[in-house]
Structure 1
Amino acid sequence: MFTAGACFSPTVFSPLFRRKQPSQVLKLKSCSILSIAPARFAMSVNCVAATGEKQRRRSGWKEYLKQAKELIEADGGPPRWFSPLDCGSQLENSPLMLFLPGIEGVGLGLVSHHHKLGRLFDLWCLHIPVADRTPFTDLVKLVETTIRLEYQRSPNRPIYLVGESLGGCLALAVAARNCHIDLVLILANPATSFGRSQVQLLTSLLDAFPALPNILSFSAGDILRTLFDKAVKGLPLLNAARGPLGDFTTFASSLPVLADILPKETFLWKLKMLTSASAYANSRLYAIKAQTLILCSGKDQLLPSQQEGEKLYHLLPNCELRKFHDSGHFLFLEGSLDLVTIIKGTSYYRRGKYHDYASDFIPPTRDEANKIIESYSLFNLITSSVMLSTLEDGKIVKGLAGIPSEGPVLLVGNHMLLAMDKVSLVSQIYTERDIIVRGMAHPLMFRRQKRGRLPEVSSYDGLRVMGIFPVAATNLFKLFSSKSHVLLFPGGVREAFHRKGEEYKLFWPEQSEFVRMAARFGAKIVPFGSVGEDDLGQVVIDYDDLVKIPYLRSEIENLTNEAVQLRAGVGGEVENQQVYLPGILPKVPGRFYYYFGKPIETEGRKQELKDKDKSQELYFEVKAEVERCIAYLKEKRERDPYRSILTRSLYQATHGPTPDIPTFEI
C-alpha cells in the first residue's frame, strides 16, 4: 500500500500517492518546493501478516504489474519520491533507504520486500514518469539534493542507496560526488556493463516489431504461440520478464502493461540514457569510497552482470560481492531472494557509523531461521546430535531444559575438528528452546586481510543471520549488557585445527579471558563438552606433516596471512593459529553428543572476581568442568545402540522419519 511520502524534483516538491482503498486510482498533487521543506512521514497503516509476506515474495512480478498499472494511470509531472511502506512500525533511528529503479523507472522494483524493509528502514522510492525526459545528470542532482538534505537532518546515520540496473549507475554517480556523506550502496546488476551488453541491438529490433503487444492480444493458437516464443527469444527484455511471470497466458496478458511502462519512444530514450549513465559512472569509480554490496545474477539476459560484479568487487575499496547463479536480471522480483536477509547476512545493517553487533542485530524471523537450519539439514541428519543438560538440582536430563532462559548466559566449551560443532549447537538450541545464541567467531568469517583461497565470506552469511559475531572484548561487553546468550570456544583456531591424536584436548589460554567480564554483568556460565568428530573422520595428515613439504608450507602461510590474526604475543599453543586443511579419512558416520553442565552463578561475585587469583580459580574450574563433560560423553556413548548411522537409519525405517532417536540411558 502506498502512503504519503516526500516527493520532489529539482524544481518541484509535493506529496505523492495517497491511496485509501486498494482499488482507488492514485492521484498526484504538486506544490512549490519553496513552501514545504522535505520531511519524513510516519504513517499508521495496516500491517500485513507473515503469510501475506510470503505470498508477495512468491508473486513479485504479478504484484509489480498490478501496482504499476495503477501508478502509471496517475502518471505525470517530474521524477519524485514516494513512500510505499506496508507497515508503520519501524525500529528507532531507522536509516533512510532510497530505491533507484532500473530502466522501467516505475519505482516498484522492491515491491516484494516493502513490508520487511519498512520495519528496518525509512523507505523512499524514486518514480520516473513514463513521459518524463529528465537527463541522467539531472537525476543525479535530484538524488544528490535528497541525500544532502537528509544528511543535514541526521549526520550520524547512514543513507542507503539501493540501485537496480540503471539505478546502480545512478547510485555510483551520486556516491562519487558525495564522498563526505556516509552512504551504503546496494547494487543489483548495475548497468555499468551496458557498453558490453547486447541490449543496444534492441533499437533495430524495436523497428522490426512495432506492434507486438497488439498482435499478442489476439493470440490463441499453438502456431501463434510458437511464433511468439521465437520473437521473444530475440528480445532480451521481454524474455527476461517472461521467465518469472511463468506461462504464456500470464505473460501475454501482462504485455499491455509492459508496453505502457516502456512504450517505444520511452524505451529508446532510456537506452540512450543507459549509454550516458554507464559512461558517467565508470569514469568516476576511482572516487567512490562508500561501503558497497554488489548483487549479481548468473542468468542475466540483458547485461553481463557476473563479470561486472567481479570487476567492481576488485575496483571498489570497500566492497562485498554476492552471486545468484540461477537468477535473472530482475533480481528483486524473484521469490527466492530476500533483500532483508541478505543485508543482515552481510552485516550491512547499521544505524550509526559502524555496524554494532549488539544494537544493530536483528533477530532472524522464523522463516529465515528455518530456511538457514534447513540448509544444514543433511549435516544435522548425519550427526543426529544428542543433547544433554543439567538442571539446577544437578539432575542430568535429555534435551536443553538446563540452559537458563534469561540472559546474560555464557556457554563455554571445546571445539571439535574444523569447528563443525557450531552448526549443530546453534540449530538445536534455537529449534528446542527458541533461543538465539550469539556465537563468538573468528574474524575470518567476516573479513579478510587479503583476497585469496579461503572459502568465500558469503558461505557464513547464514550463521551471521543467526547471530555469530567476531571475537572482541567490546562485542562481548555489549552482548552481556543486552542480556544475550553467548557461545564461546576459548581454544579457537588451534583447537579447531588440531593435530593427530589431539581429539578433545583443550588448548585454552593460560590466563582467564571471560570470567571477570561475566561477573561484571552477573552472567551464568554454562560449561559444556562435545564429542563425535572421531566417528566422522580421522586426521591422518596434519600440520606437522604438511609443513615438511615446501609447496604446502607456502600454501599454509598464504592461507594464514589471509585471515586476521588473533592472540598475537600471548605465547603458548593458542598463539600458533595456522589455517590449513588437514587430511581426513572418512568413517561410517557416528553421532555428535553435547553435555551442558550445571550453570555457575557469578551474580554478586563482581568484587570477589576482580581479584586475579579468584578469577583464575574460577577459570580453571570451568575448564575442568568442560573436561569432565567430555569424559562423561566418551564413556556413555559406548552404550548408545544408535551411535552408528546404520542403526539410526534402520530405526527410522521401522519407526518413521523421526528426529527423536533414542540414545544411552542417563
Structure 2
Amino acid sequence: MAVTGVSIFPASLSPVIRRDFTPLVGKFSKSKNSISFRRLAVSTEQTPTTTATPTPTTRRLSEKSEELGEAEVAASVDEVKQNGRVWREYFERSKELISRSDGGPPRWFTPLECGPPLKNSPLLLFLPGILSVGLGLIKNHCRIGKIFETWCLHIPVTDRTPFTDLVKQVEKTIRSENDRSPNRPIYLVGESFGGCLALAVAASNPDIDLVLILANPTTSISRSQLQPLMTLLEFIPNQLPFSPPNMLSLMTGQPLRTAIESVVKGLPLQQTVGELSQDLDAISSYLSVLAGILPRETLRWKLQMLKSGSAVSNSRLHAVKAQTLILSSGRDQLLPSQEEGERLCHVLPKCEIRKFNNSGHFLLLEDGIDLVTIIRGASFYRRGKFLDYVSDYMLPTPTEFKKIAEDNKWIGAFTSPVMLSTLEDGKIVRGLAGIPSEGPVLLVGYHMLLGFELVPLIANIFRERNILVRGIAHPMLFMKKGNIQEMFLDVSQYDMYRIMGAVPVSASNLFKLLSSKSHVLLYPGGVREASHRKGEEYKLMWPEQSEFVRMAARFGAKIIPFGAVGEDDISELVFDYDDQMKIPYLKDQIEKLTNAAVNLRTDATGEVANQDLHLPGILPKFPGRFYYYFGKPIETEGLKQELKDRDKAHELYLQVKSEVGRCLAYLKEKRENDPYRNLLSRLIYQATHSFTSEIPTFKL
C-alpha cells in the first residue's frame, strides 16, 4: 500500500485552529510541539490562544480528473480486498497510533489517504466504536476521502471522558463547522458505540443539517451478549490476570463459512485453507495490540460508557430529526442489530435501513462492504441542503459496475441480448455504433413488462460505448420509509438503479440532464406500459399530448427511437391488474401503494392515466432471446423556435412514436429467422465454440 498517516488534534479545538494542523497530513512535522514518525503526525499541542492562520488552499479537480480519481480509488479498494490484509493494517495502525498518543483528551485526525476531497464536499465525522481508536473506516478511507472532508475521532486508551462530555465536544465541532458553512451538510458516521454518540448529538441539535450513518449502534446493549461480561468485570479482583475477551472471532467472522464460500466461488480448497490460516495467524499475532487497546480497566470503563450512551441516546430518540441510514448486520455476535435496526427505523421519522445478512458486528471492516456505494445507493449523498439527483451524482466506479453486472449476469446469460443500431446513413449494424458519443441524447422507447429490458440495455451501452444512460424513473424507486412503512416494500432493491444514474421523473430533472449533455432514457408509456394487461405486449401506451419534444429541441438533443422485444419469450402474464382488482384484499393493497407514491399524469386521459402500482403475476418460460433496435437519430438542432408551435411539436412527437413502433415490428419479424432464438440452441453453439464467443443471429 501507499504510505499512510494521520494528523491528530484535540477535539476541543475550534475548527479554524484545527485546520492549521492540516499541513501535517502528508508530510512530517518538525515543530517542537509535535512528534514525527513514519506513518502518523501527532499533535501534542493543547488549545492555543493565538489567532489562526489562513486555511491552506485546496487543489481543484476537473470533471475528467474526478472520474479518473474514482477509477484510481476503485483500484485501491480492489487491491486492499484482494490482499485480504485489512485487519493486519488495522492493528498495525492502531498500535502505532496508541504508542504515539500522549493520553490527552479525545481528538480529531485525518488519515493521509483521505485527502484532499473534491470541491464543495460535505464534512464527515467518524465516531468510533468500543475500540475507540478511530480507524474503523480504514478500508474505506480512499473512497470516502475523495467525496468527503473526513475527520475521525480518536479516544486515547487512558482517557476517561464521560459520555455526556463527549457529546458536548462533538456538538462544539458541528456547531463551529455549521457556522462556517451553513449550507453544507455534516455527516456523522457512528460505528457501534459511535452510533449512540451520533444519536445523542443529533437529538440536541435539530436545527443543524445532519445526516446520520449508523452501523450496528449499541442502543440495544441491554439485550447484548456483553451483559454477562459487564457483570463479571464488576467482581473480578484487580490482582487476577485478565486477558481481553475473545473478540477476535467476533471481529473476523466465521473462518469455516469463509472457506465454504471461497470453495463455492471455485477457489481450490487447499489454497483457501492456506490463505485463511495465514490471515488468522497474522491476526492472532496482534492479540497484544488488542490487549493494549482494551486493558481491563479501559474495558470496564468502555462497557460502562456503552450502558450510559445507550441510556442517554434511547431517552432522546424522540428529538432526533436528522436524516438517518441504519446499517444492520445479520450475524452480529455482540448485538441483536437487525432487530434493533428495525426498531430505530420505526421510531426515527427520516430513517431508512440497509441489511447485511452475512456480516458481523464490525461491518465497516469486512470485505465487500463499500460505505460510499451504500450511501450513494440509498440516495444519501448530497453537497447542499437538498439532494440534487443531477449535480450530486457521480459516475459508477469500475468496481461498482462490475458488482452490478455480476449480480445481474443471469439476465444476459439467459437472454443473450442482440443489440442493433442505425448509422447516420441509415445502415443497420450489429452493436451500438449508431448511438452518438456526445450528448445531449434522448433515448425514447418501449417499456417491457416489469422493465425486463432495463439492465441489459444500460449495461451493454456502458460496457460497449462507455456511455452512462441516465434513466427517468418512477418516483417509487425513490420512496422513503415514511411513505411505504405499511407496504412491506424493500427499497434497497432499487439501489443499483440509483447508482447507475436513475432520477425521479420531472421536467426539472429532464432539463438538468439535457443541459448537462447527458444521455437520457425515457419511456413515455411509463408504469402503464411496464405493467400492461394480458394481450397488450408491444402495445405503445403513450399520452395524447407531446411531453418531451420541445425540451429536447431546446438543447438540440438527438432523439433515438428504439424497440425491445423478448418479454413474451421468457414469461407469460397470468394474473394481471384486472384480475387483482377483483380480489378485495389485493385491490386495497394496490390502492394503498398507489396513494403512497407520487401521483403522475393527473391531467392525462385514457388508459395511460391509470398509474396504479401493482405486481403482475407471471409464469416463467423456457428462455428465448432479447432483441434491441435503435433507430436512426432524429435531429432537433435548430428546431427550437419551430417547435414552439404546438402542432409542429405534436407532429414530431407522433413521428418518434411511429419510429418506435416500426422498431418493434422489425424485431418481431426478424427474430422469427433467428436460429439461436431458443436457449438450447445457444447453449449448443457455445459448447461447440466457446462460452465467451458472440452468438450469431438473423441476417441484417
TM-score (norm 2): 0.88
* Aligned position for 1:71: 97
Post-superposition Cα deviations, 1:17-48, rounded to whole Å, max 9, x if no partner, equal 65747835654321434325598666789x87
Task: Check 1:83–1:558 CA distance in 2 against 1; reply closer, same or farther (3 A cut).
Answer: same
Question: 2: distance between equivalents of 1:322 and 1:304?
Answer: 15
Moved more, 648-657 or 547-556: 547-556
> Would you say the 8 A contact 1:5–1:40 is kept in 2?
no
DSSP-derived class of the 2:410 partner: helix
> Would you say the 8 A contact 2:450–2:531 is kept in 1?
yes
* Aligned position for 2:456: 424
Q: Which amino acid aligns with 1:551?
A: Y
Question: 1: distance between equivalents of 2:486 and 2:215?
Answer: 24
1:112-511 → structure 2 map (5 Å cutoff): 112-205=139-232, 207=236, 211=241, 235=245, 237-243=247-253, 247=277, 248-448=280-480, 449-453=483-487, 455-511=489-545
Post-superposition Cα deviations, 1:174-225, rounded to whole Å, max 9, x if no partner, equal 1111111100000000111112212122135554996465xxxxxxxxxxxx
Question: Displacement, 1:132?
Answer: 0.4
> Would you say the 8 A contact 1:5–1:41 is kept in 2?
no
Question: 1: distance between equivalents of 2:464 and 2:287?
Answer: 49
Task: Check 1:19–1:133 CA distance in 2 against 1; reply closer, same or farther (3 A cut).
Answer: farther
Question: 2: distance between equivalents of 1:180 and 1:11?
Answer: 20
DSSP-derived class of the 1:467 partner: coil
Question: Displacement, 1:537?
Answer: 1.3
Q: Give the aligned CA root-mean-square deviation in angstroms.
A: 2.3
Q: Given the alignment of the two structures, is residue 9 of structure 1 paired with residue 12 of structure 2, yes or no? A: yes
* Aligned position for 1:35: 50
Task: Check 1:460–1:137 CA distance in 2 against 1; reply closer, same or farther (3 A cut).
Answer: same
TM-score (norm 1): 0.93
Q: Which amino acid aligns with 1:283?
A: S
Question: 1: distance between equivalents of 2:52 and 2:224?
Answer: 41
Select 2:79's aligned residue among 39, 55, 68.
55
> Would you say the 8 A contact 1:101–1:167 is kept in 2?
yes
Question: Displacement, 1:2?
Answer: 2.4
Task: Check 1:18–1:592 CA distance in 2 against 1; reply closer, same or farther (3 A cut).
Answer: closer
Question: 2: distance between equivalents of 1:422 and 1:445?
Answer: 14
Task: Check 1:174–1:402 CA distance in 2 against 1; reply closer, same or farther (3 A cut).
Answer: same
- In structure 1, list runs of 5 or more residues that go unmatched: 214-231
* Aligned position for 2:126: 99
> Would you say the 8 A contact 2:25–2:111 is kept in 1?
no
> Would you say the 8 A contact 1:639–1:664 is kept in 2?
yes
* Aligned position for 1:223: none
* Aligned position for 1:576: 610
1:594-605 → structure 2 map (5 Å cutoff): 594-605=628-639
Q: Which amino acid aligns with 2:113?
A: D
Question: 1: distance between equivalents of 2:241 and 2:56?
Answer: 43
Task: Check 1:618–1:199 CA distance in 2 against 1; reply closer, same or farther (3 A cut).
Answer: same
* Aligned position for 2:137: 110
DSSP-derived class of the 1:379 partner: helix
* Aligned position for 2:110: 83
Question: 2: distance between equivalents of 1:20 and 1:7?
Answer: 19
Post-superposition Cα deviations, 1:467-519, rounded to whole Å, max 9, x if no partner, equal 11111111111111111110001101100110111010011111111111111
Task: Check 1:543–1:50 CA distance in 2 against 1; reply closer, same or farther (3 A cut).
Answer: closer
Post-superposition Cα deviations, 1:550-609, rounded to whole Å, max 9, x if no partner, equal 233223323333432211232221111222222323221101111000111111111111
Q: Which amino acid aligns with 1:136?
A: F
DSSP-derived class of the 1:598 partner: coil
* Aligned position for 1:228: none
Post-superposition Cα deviations, 1:214-256, rounded to whole Å, max 9, x if no partner, equal xxxxxxxxxxxxxxxxxx9xx4634312437954422321100
* Aligned position for 1:227: none
* Aligned position for 1:512: 546
Question: 2: distance between equivalents of 1:155 and 1:519?
Answer: 38
Task: Check 1:96–1:425 CA distance in 2 against 1; reply closer, same or farther (3 A cut).
Answer: same
Q: Given the alignment of the two structures, is residue 523 of structure 1 paired with residue 557 of structure 2, yes or no? A: yes
* Aligned position for 2:650: 616
* Aligned position for 2:66: none
Task: Check 1:659–1:194 CA distance in 2 against 1; reply closer, same or farther (3 A cut).
Answer: farther
Question: 1: distance between equivalents of 2:501 and 2:53?
Answer: 36
1:17-32 → structure 2 map (5 Å cutoff): 20=27, 23-24=38-39, 26-32=41-47
Moved more, 455-464 or 397-406: 455-464
Task: Check 1:108–1:532 CA distance in 2 against 1; reply closer, same or farther (3 A cut).
Answer: same
Question: 2: distance between equivalents of 1:24 and 1:503?
Answer: 63
* Aligned position for 1:564: 598
Post-superposition Cα deviations, 1:354-397, rounded to whole Å, max 9, x if no partner, equal 11111100101111111111110011211111000000111000
> Would you say the 8 A contact 2:13–2:47 is kept in 1?
no
DSSP-derived class of the 2:286 partner: helix
Task: Check 1:585–1:319 CA distance in 2 against 1; reply closer, same or farther (3 A cut).
Answer: same
Task: Check 1:275–1:481 CA distance in 2 against 1; reply closer, same or farther (3 A cut).
Answer: same
Question: Displacement, 1:11?
Answer: 9.5
Question: Displacement, 1:90?
Answer: 2.4
Q: Which amino acid aligns with 1:28?
A: S
Question: 2: distance between equivalents of 1:80 and 1:431?
Answer: 45
DSSP-derived class of the 2:419 partner: strand
Moved more, 11-20 or 608-617: 11-20
Q: Which amino acid aligns with 2:220?
A: S
Question: 1: distance between equivalents of 2:7 and 2:614?
Answer: 56
> Would you say the 8 A contact 1:390–1:397 is kept in 2?
yes
- In structure 2, list runs of 5 or more residues that go unmatched: 29-36, 61-68, 256-275
DSSP-derived class of the 2:285 partner: helix
> Would you say the 8 A contact 1:96–1:121 is kept in 2?
yes
> Would you say the 8 A contact 1:43–1:88 is kept in 2?
no
Question: 2: distance between equivalents of 1:19 and 1:240?
Answer: 34
* Aligned position for 1:592: 626
Task: Check 1:438–1:85 CA distance in 2 against 1; reply closer, same or farther (3 A cut).
Answer: farther
Question: 2: distance between equivalents of 1:40 and 1:165?
Answer: 33
Q: Which amino acid aligns with 1:243?
A: G
Post-superposition Cα deviations, 1:77-108, rounded to whole Å, max 9, x if no partner, equal 11010111415452210110000000111100
DSSP-derived class of the 2:325 partner: strand
Question: Displacement, 1:454?
Answer: 5.4
* Aligned position for 1:544: 578
> Would you say the 8 A contact 1:589–1:644 is kept in 2?
yes
> Would you say the 8 A contact 1:301–1:329 is kept in 2?
yes
Question: Displacement, 1:304?
Answer: 1.0
Q: Which amino acid aligns with 1:366?
A: P
